Amino acid sequence: MSPHRLTAHEILDLFKSSEVTPQEVFEDVLARVKAVDDKVHAYIRPAQKPSFAAGPAIGGAGAFPIPIGIKDNLCTIGEEITCGSRILKGFRPPYDAAVVEKVRRCGGLIVGIANMDEFAFGSSTESSCYGPTFNPWDLSRVPGGSSGGSAACVAADEAVWALG
């Protein structure tokens, strides 16, 4: 079984039946990132290790410890957030964006910071100062949209879901 290929609902069912732990799923997804992201370039900064926030108990209301990619324009405490631009190099926000705060509150597991067009100006994810993101289904193409890193990380099974 490869959890990185499953849907969020399928993973939650495995959690409830104790067939797999959130850490095992996260590590499987992170192994997938290490295996394919050098070609896809969905992430600017993939996570180096699991960061497990205290969320509700699995099976409880609102518990969702699923691996997620976060777009590089969403303030995330502990992460460098640059909006795909050299201008913001080194910026570490002092707070989480409301949506990131909710992800953490539900126990979401951040896999990494996803690539994007610089300041979201673009429609192909090719204008990032970190280089372009490629469509994982055809590496000669781009994923499209300024949130291409978020789309590509899900399409490449490098995250179960993403914000972007």
**Residue-averaged pLDDT of the chain:** 91
Q: What is the pTM of this model?
A: 0.92
pLDDT tops 80 at residue 102: yes
Tokens of 146: 């300024």
CA dihedral 135, 140, 145, 147 (to 10 degrees): 40
Mean pLDDT, residues 122-134: 95
pLDDT tops 80 at residue 56: no
β-pair type (161-163, 109-114): unpaired
Q: Residue 49's pLDDT is what? A: 72
Distances (CA, A) of 104 to 25, 40, 65, 68: 17, 26, 9, 10
* 64-95 pLDDT, tens digit each: 889 999 999 999 998 999 999 999 999 999 99
β-pair type (43-46, 109-114): antiparallel
Domains of the chain: 3-163 (3.90.1300.10)
pLDDT tops 80 at residue 62: no
DSSP 33: H
Mean pLDDT, residues 29-53: 89
